Amino acid sequence: MTRKTTLATVLCVASLLSTPIFAETVLRIDEVAVGELDPAKASDYADSILMFNVYDTLVIPQQGGPGHVAHLATSWESDGATYTFELRDDVKFQSGNSMTAADVVYSLERMQALGAGLSYLFTDVKAEAKSDTSVQFTLAQPYAPFVASLVRLPIVDMAFVKANSESEWGEEFLSANGAGTGAYGVKSHNPQEETVMTKSDSYFLGVPDVAPDTVRLRYGLEAATVRTLISQGEHDIASQWLPPEVIQALAKDGAQLLTESGTGAFYFKMNTTKAPLDDVNCRLALSHAFDYGTAVQMIAINDEVSAGSPASGAIPVGMYGANPADAVMARDMDKAKEYLDACKYDAADFNIEVSWIAEVPLEERFALLMQSNFTELGIKSEIKKLPWALFAEQVSKPENTPHISQLFVNAVTGDPDTLLYGMYHSSTPGTWQSPEYLSDAKVDEFLDAGRSAADDAGREEAYKALNARLMEIAPTIYGFDRQSVFAASNRVKVPALSDASQAFGLDGMGFSFRLMEMTE
Amino acid sequence: MIRALRILASNPLSLFGLLLVVLIVLVAILAPWIAPFPTHNGAVVDFAFANKAPGARNWMGTDLVGRDIFSRILYAYQISLTLGIVVLAIATPIGTVVGLIAGYSGGWLGTVLMRIVDVFLSIPPLVLAIAMMGVLEPTLTNAMLAVTVMWWPWYARLVYSVARSEREEGYVLAAEVIGANTAHITFREILPNCLPAIITKMTLDMGFVIIIASSLSFLGLGVQPPTPDLGSMVAEGARYLPDSWWLTVFPGLAILVAVFGFNLLGDGLRDVFGVDE
């Protein structure tokens, strides 16, 4: 052997030795606190990420198109009032217990009993186990998007919860531990700091080797921290709440941009119980004074990617009842002045509280934009910064709710009912989605018609009427239709967030870790 | 007076401090005339020029809504100086009176007053201010109030210790002997001898008050947008480091210059008055 080949052999062996073939892959992501792990209480984006990975649901959205496919179920049939689902018989919970129809019934009843989170989707449903692998849901009244809503019913391991908890619903246990069938199990969970999840060996669909072995979901990181961590290769996917400038800077440094579009919109919600916004003309004045064009410019990341598109009305483009995409909302100061003159309050007395969520820095700019827009109309306003936790508490009382709250709301099941009902129906006031405290008989009527209509045409008609009514009474300034943009390192490939044919059309589901690929 | 100026001038650092303070005060007063964009202290947005690096149009760049940072710093100095002056103008007399009474009278009244002062001093100043702002609405007036509440006890303690030693002096005893009343002795005899210490501390404190006020607004508890404030400018910009450094660096430097100036001047005054720490 010559010296050269010896050297080459040594180098070759050395490089083989130093390549960790079975190295554990870790995916690091972040979201806004609090991470709610209890399936009956989960509602926001961080919670959704936890739910879609630790738990499974009977159906999941079809990738790359409309509709839903069976997941824990194998098939279902319906006559409008009852839905019968056949379940897979090969699904094991992370505890090792087999999943049966009794678990489905328990999960639904638990959701209804606790009455928190997204339980409003399931108020009029009864479930009954017909056999171990068959479950029947009976609806008190027809609910067109029922199958869609099942993506929000995580199936909980009843036997495991009862074995680990004194109370019937095991609230304490489930707020700190996972009890699902999901592809990832909870290793540790601190709702303010971090949730660590690891790949489950017993997942019924199997988890590919390339999927991350461990996922660390951290809460409440500062934008500058995330920016630095990603540049140094110590973070993988940033939350969607980074300001556009930071996403731009990361993209310039070579980060990839992932997108998840839009079954939601960005709203400036007006408290309709507080003077002067209890007068419809005042609200219309503000909504006509808002500079929609500038708002859309502010969220552009680069020429190709933007965090949203112009709104055409109260309902995002692409949903039932939406106005055409080219009928964009625009500023009209003349009309704004007309409405202001018709308002029963004197403009000089206004002092509009414009709040913004401390964790979403971009909102401060919208607040300043509004303040400047309103000043042109001769209306005074003050800007108030609220941490998310404080905001969520304050909106529970109309008198504590600011005049204007800025919120991104999405259809939690992908269906317009779950976007609009929670925001505008008079029976659901005072949640973070409904700081408007709207109470309008016509809106209620159209919302009810939309969820009970027998066919697509009927739903389209109901939501069209709703859209028109919501434009007329303006409880909200409809900012823009939103698309989530995530800056990410190149260590991970996320087809569900980068390839339209793989996208789920349901917020948060793109973060199914089992479908991700770690490249190093 | 001339002797005082000579002592001050003999220390170039103190002179530099004086220069900085005079400059800051002038700049704050003249802000509406010298700011390149005088409207940018209010509810103005100009997204066409948002987040621009320092250049010919905007010497210190623009913020995220397109406002000129240089102009905003000039206006922010107005707020900082006003706050500092108002806080000291209220805190100093209160603290001085309490300190004089406690120091001259001694006895149970002195003990009670100074224990109250101790209670205030035992709480870290920023914590007390934050606690107060948590209860009150975040406005400039309330920020001044919160800082004042935490500031007067320091003057009470300072004046108390000076008054304690002065009351044993011959001139005080002489005044007592000729039958002067308590008010005359405390305010006409002892107070003038406390003034050098008070004035020195006030000058040094201007810097600290500016820092505390900036800390409050850094936490979102002080002056509310769109009013420019150095602390909140730093806080807003911090998220965009290191890319948009001008958002943080210039307001940060502005705080540094102000505090530095007042501290140097305070040190110089201490030499002039011969006050011991």
The string of pLDDT tens digits covering residues A195-223 is 999 999 999 999 999 999 999 999 999 99
- Tokens in use for B127? 């914590």
Nearest CB partner across the interface for A222, out of B220, B224, B239: B239
Q: Is B225 on the interface with A (CB under 8 A)?
A: yes
Task: Indicate which of A222, A351, A371 best probes the interface with B, i.e. most B CBs within 10 Å of its own CB.
Answer: A371
- Does the distance separating the beta carbons of B47 and A246 come in below 8 Å? no
- Using an 8 Å CB-CB cutoff, list chain A residues near B227: none
Residues 228-267 in A contacting B (C-alpha not used; CB under 8 Å): 228, 243, 245-246, 249
- Is residue A16 scored above 60 in pLDDT? no
**Once rounded to an integer, what is the mean pLDDT over residues A36-51?**
94
**Residue closest to A183 by CA, chosen among A520, A509, A479, A446:** A509
Residue of B nearest to A370 (CA): B43
Q: With contact defined as beta carbons under 8 Å apart, do A401 and A440 qualify?
A: no
3-state secondary structure of A190: strand
Q: What local confidence, expressed as pLDDT, does residue A14 receive? A: 52
- Burial of residue A266 (CB within 10 Å: 0-12, 13-18, 19+) is buried
Residue A260, pLDDT > 60, answer: yes
| Contact call for residues A481 and A311 (beta carbons, < 8 A) | yes
* Residue numbers in B near A249 (CB within 8 A): 243
Q: What value does the CA radius of gyration of chain A take, rounded to a whole number of Å?
A: 24
Could you tell me which residues are beta bridge partners of residue A308? A482
Residue B233, pLDDT score: 92
Pairing of strands A517-518, A492-493: antiparallel
Q: pLDDT for A347-377, tens place per residue?
A: 888 899 999 998 888 898 999 999 999 999 9
Residues of A in contact with B240 (CB under 8 A): 223-224, 243, 245-246
Partner A contacted by B65 (CB < 8 A) = yes
Q: For A158-185, how does the pLDDT look when each residue is reduced to its tens digit (9 = 90+)?
A: 999 999 999 989 999 999 999 999 999 9
Q: What domains sit in chain B, N to C, each tagged with a CATH number?
A: 69-273 (1.10.3720.10)
Domain A26-237+489-518 CATH assignment equals 3.40.190.10: yes
How far is residue A210's CA from residue B187's CA, in Å, rounded to a whole number?
82
CA A127 to CA A106: how far, in whole Å?
Answer: 9
Q: Could you read off the pLDDT of A86-132 as tens digits, one per residue?
A: 999 999 999 999 999 999 999 999 999 999 888 988 988 999 999 99
A512: pLDDT strictly greater than 80: yes
Residue A490 contacts B where some CB pair is shorter than 8 Å: no
Give the pLDDT of chain B (277 residues) as one tens digit per residue. Answer: 677 778 888 888 999 999 999 999 999 999 999 999 999 988 788 888 888 999 999 999 999 889 999 999 999 999 999 999 999 999 999 999 999 999 988 889 999 999 999 999 998 888 888 888 878 877 888 888 888 988 999 999 999 999 998 888 888 889 888 988 888 988 888 899 899 899 999 999 999 999 988 888 888 788 877 889 999 999 889 888 888 999 999 999 999 999 999 999 998 888 888 776 5
Which of B65, B142, B245 best tests the A interface by mutation, with the highest count of A CBs <10 A? B65
3-class SS at A262?
strand
Q: Kindly list the domain boundaries of chain A, sorted by start residue.
A: 26-237+489-518, 261-483
Q: Tell me how many residue pairs between chain A and chain B have CB atoms under 8 A apart.
A: 61
CB A292 within 8 A of CB A424: no
> What's the average model confidence in pLDDT over A283-295?
95
Substitution target in A232, A362, A365 with the highest count of B β-carbons within 10 Å is A365
Tell me the CA distances in angstroms from A459 to A316, A447, B190, one per residue in order: 15, 10, 86
Chain A residue with minimum CA distance to B51? A245
Please give the pLDDT value at position A263.
Answer: 80
Would you place residue A1 in the very low, low, confident or very high pLDDT band (cuts 50, 70, 90)?
Answer: very low
Closest to A294 measured CA to CA, from B44, B58, B61: B44
Q: Is 80 exceeded by the pLDDT of residue A15?
A: no
> Would you say the C-alpha torsion A475, A480, A483, A485 has a positive or negative sign?
negative
Residues B63, B69, B74, B77, CA torsion sign: positive
Q: Do B240 and A382 touch (CB under 8 A)?
A: no
List the single best residue of B44, B240, B244, B247 to mutate versus A (max A Cβ within 10 A). Answer: B240
- CATH superfamily for A261-483 is Dipeptide-binding Protein; Domain 3 (3.10.105.10)
Going by pLDDT thresholds of 50, 70 and 90, the confidence category of residue A151 is very high
Per-residue model confidence as pLDDT tens digits over A412-432: 888 889 899 989 999 988 888
